[in-house]
Amino acid sequence: MGMKEDLVRTDEENERYRQLVQANRRRREQVAPQDRPENVSTIPK
């Protein structure tokens, strides 16, 4: 018994996902310092 095959990502899908995550991290790092100072903590909603 294991996961359904249609729910398991292929190697190509995994690589695309990793690239998307890295791009989002870079974008967030560029935006975050401009939006708020580093010494101010935010309270999650």
Q: Which residue has the tokens 């010494």?
A: 39
Q: Where are the domains of the chain?
A: 10-35
Q: What is the pLDDT of residue 21?
A: 97
Q: What is the pLDDT of residues 7-35, one digit of tens each?
A: 899 999 999 999 999 999 999 988 766 55
Q: Does the pLDDT of residue 41 top 80, yes or no?
A: no
Q: What is the pLDDT of residue 3?
A: 83
Q: What is the mean pLDDT of residues 34-42?
A: 59
Q: What is the pLDDT of residue 5?
A: 87
- Are the C-beta atoms of 24 and 16 separated by less than 8 Å? no
Q: Please give the angle made by the CA atoms of 3, 9 and 12, to the nearest 5 degrees.
A: 155
